Amino acid sequence: NTVGYVVGEVRTDEFTFVTNREIAPPRLEYIVVQVQDPERAIQYDVLAQVTKLAVSSRLLDTSLSYNEVAQILNRISTSQPIIVGTAQVLGYLDGRTVRYPRHATMPGNPVTQAPDDLLKRFFSQDVESGIDIGSLINRDNVNVLLNPNGLRRHMAVIAQTGAGKSYTVGVILEKLLQLGGSIVIFDPNSDYVKMRRDESMRVTPFADRVEVYRMPTNQKGRISDDEIGGAKKFTMKFSALEVEEICAMTGIPEASTNIRKALQTAHDNLRGRDYAPHEFLREIERIAAAGGGSDAGGEWMPRGPERKRSDQESLPEMQDFHRAAYAKANLDVDWEDFGVDASDDAETPIAAPPRSEKNNGDGGKSLSLDAIAGAQKAIKYVERLTRVDIWGFEQVPIQDLLRPMNLAVIDLAGVDSWITEFVVDKVLRDLWGEATTNGLPRPVFFVLEEAHNFVPGGQGAKSQAAYIIKRIASEGRKFGLFLVLVTQRPYKIHGDTLSQCNSQIIMRLTNPQDQLAIKQSSEGISEGLLADLPGLNVGEAVILGPIVRVPVMVRIGHRLSAQGGNDIDVVKALEDARSAVVIDKRERQVKQERAQTKKTEWLEELDA
Ligand SMILES: Nc1ncnc2c1ncn2[C@@H]1O[C@H](COP(=O)(O)OP(=O)(O)OP(=O)(O)O)[C@@H](O)[C@H]1O
Ligand SMILES: [Mg+2]
């Protein structure tokens, strides 16, 4: 099954071959050429892939005019075109490993179609505990196995929306789970909540190894717990939070030392108790009110320029500790009134330093003054926490997430981003802490959908979870923490973090900015593969990096479990709308008829 002969200049990484119309292999087809190693006096079969096919004619070249071409075509009935293919060398097998040839093939050598069994040796065999991801894009009968060891260096799944990322990740996770993996999925779109059921609602073989944790939200249109086969509540124990964590979650700036002192004081006061956020808030209010003293009258948020002026004037004369504190608190509040957005970076750094300098000499007394002042401002932050539904007296135990052969889906749908960031941050930090202090009994795979939101690149974009994700990306593999980042905007994700994902599954991607981001982050991607990305269909992928022996184009295989997600079926919605209109019309008709009959009955009665 010769498909051509090597011609022209031959390099170790690329060669051209001439073929004809009948036998020309299609683009992306796998072909084989022989390469001789003169030092070792051996020959080996090198696998290559057709990257380009060019058709030309010596007779009909571009220098000819229209009439000349017409005359030539009149005289000869057929003209033999020249078909030249370009192929990229992928390597040859030396036992189980793929090596890159150090010699080029020779012009004149035959080019043959790669037999299935050779391709199987390349892509489906000798991969210990391989993950069957699908088949070669142009050879249905050659499966592609991913090497789980390649996941040690993290993986990214990248494609534009709708290309099939979540489906693909589902396929991988089903296999990884059955191989024994401990997996935690952060799922902002409920894409994985149905993994215990297939599309026909039948139970999947790994159903009892899937645990779905959901936050109590009252989001409309949510997939019900029944539909997913039951769920556990994802709650956080508020009293187990450190002050630092509360600050990070609510966005209390580093410079807001008073607020932090207030929180710390409340935290210390309540230490050892199992308290809820509203109890914490009450404690903060108590501290704030302590500063208000008797003449505050419980109103601790006075505003307006008059109040400020009078307090400033009387400040030096005040002997009373509480009154001084109260005045200081007023100053704090007033700073906010100077146009600083209170909800976010509330405290201006200009305001903070002079005050703390002034008070540093006062020792312990000033600390409580600061705390009292801070407490008044802390209230609105803590109030924000009391409105969140994730608090409970139970916390999902870390050990549950570390169980062998266990897939934990943390459903983050319908929750504000500051909470999802907090949850991702908290879970990752807790596991990081466990991994670095006690060590993990087995590796844990984290899947992070919408990764660009949690570890954004560029300036301005922030996420509370970014720090720990970057840390795990750069050091996690030493401790058995492996990331699978999923994103539709590679251009918006933190570049170094993306580069740490040595394995990549890239699907259809048309945006040039995103393609550039991939080019910059991936060593393995060639111009040829990049150019192929816009042409991929849904469910087709380019796979690169240590999870595969050589870069490969794959048609993703079948996923057993049903996909979640909350996409509205527009066709069905429109259908429903149409039938609603029909029903409406019929109802109106019936009503009218009824009204008419009533009238006639009444008329008849009258007549009678
Ligand atoms: N390999 C596949 N075989 C069959 N159907 C697929 C395959 N891949 C994707 N699909 C279907 O295509 C649609 C989009 O897939 P999916 O939700 O995985 O895309 P996505 O890249 O995750 O999109 P988004 O960015 O919106 O999350 C789904 O309806 C899915 O069922
Ligand atoms: Mg998706």
User: What is the band of 327 on the pLDDT scale with cuts at 50, 70, 90?
Assistant: very low
Q: In total, how many domains does the chain have?
A: 4
Q: Assign residue 450 the CATH number of its domain.
A: 3.40.50.300
- d(CA 164, ligand 1 centre) in Å: 3
Centre of ligand 2 from the C-alpha of residue 213, in Å: 19
Tokens of 282: 């009450």
The pLDDT tens digits for 17-72 are: 999 999 999 988 999 999 998 888 889 999 999 999 999 988 888 899 999 999 98
For ligand 1, whether the C-beta of 167 sits within 6 Å is yes
Are residues 103 and 39 part of one domain?
A: yes
| CA distances from residue 411 to 121, 420, 455, 556, 592 in whole angstroms, order as listed | 40, 10, 19, 25, 50
Q: Is position 54 within any domain? A: yes
Averaged pLDDT, 308-329:
39
| Per-residue pLDDT, 352 | 37
Residue 325 reports pLDDT greater than 80: no
Is 313 found in the same domain as 248? yes
Q: How far apart are CA 562 and CA 13, in angstroms?
A: 42
For residue 218, being part of any structural domain is answered with no
Structure confidence by residue, pLDDT tens digits, 492-533: 999 999 999 999 999 999 999 999 999 988 877 888 888 889
pLDDT at 144: 96
- Confidence band, pLDDT 50/70/90 cuts, at residue 576: confident
Mean pLDDT of the 213-236 span? 83
With a pLDDT cut of 70, the percent of the chain lying above it is: 84
- Residue 125 lies inside a defined structural domain of this protein: no
**pLDDT tier, 566 (very low <50, low <70, confident <90, very high otherwise):** low
345 with 447, same domain: the answer is: no
Ligand 1 close to Cβ of residue 166 (< 6 A)? yes
Tell whether ligand 1 has an atom less than 6 A from the beta carbon of residue 165: yes
Angstrom distances, CA of residue 346 to CA of 24, 309, 354 = 69, 22, 17
* Residue showing tokens 């009391």: 386
Does 24 share its domain with 53?
Answer: yes
Instruction: Give me the residues paired with residue 472 across strands.
Output: none
- Is 569 a member of any domain? no
Does residue 319 carry a pLDDT above 80? no
Give 295's pLDDT tier (boundaries 50, 70, 90).
very low
> Has residue 358 been placed in a domain?
yes
pLDDT band of 135, cuts 50, 70, 90: very high
Question: 546 CA to middle of ligand 2, Å?
Answer: 24
Secondary-structure breakdown of the chain: helix, strand, coil percentages, each rounded to the nearest 5: 40, 20, 35
Residue identifier of the C-alpha nearest atom 27 of ligand 1: 161
Answer whether residue 176 shows pLDDT above 90.
Answer: yes
Q: Which residues of 454-469 are buried (b: 16+ CB within 10 A; e: fewer)?
A: bbbbeeeeebbbbebb
Residues 435, 356: one domain?
Answer: no
Whether 599 is covered by a domain: the verdict is yes
Same domain, 442 and 304: no
Looking at the predicted structure, is the pLDDT value of residue 285 above 60? Answer: yes
Let me know whether 538 and 606 are in one domain. Answer: no
Condensed to tens digits (0 to 9), the pLDDT of residues 418-441 reads: 889 999 999 999 999 999 999 999
470 in any annotated domain: yes
On whether both 466 and 513 belong to a single domain, the answer is yes
Does any ligand 1 atom lie closer than 6 A to the CB of residue 32? no
158 close to 504: Cβ distance less than 8 angstroms: yes
Domain co-membership, 382 together with 407? no
For residue 165, the CA-to-ligand 2 centroid distance in Å is 5
- Please work out whether the CB of residue 159 comes within 6 Å of at least one atom of ligand 1: yes
What domain range is 302 assigned to? Answer: 239-386
- Identify whether residues 494 and 527 lie together within a single domain: yes
Which tops the pLDDT comparison, 581 or 345? 581
Average pLDDT over residues 298-323: 38
Statement to judge: residues 484 and 413 lie in one domain:
yes
Look at 205-209, 328-332, 431-435, 591-595 and tell me which has the smallest mean pLDDT: 328-332
Q: Give pLDDT tens digits for 465-500.
A: 999 999 999 999 999 999 999 999 999 999 999 999
Last-in-domain residue among 386, 409, 426: 386
Q: 549 and 402 in one domain?
A: yes
Tell me whether residue 223 is in a domain.
Answer: no
Last residue of a domain, one of 386, 419, 449: 386
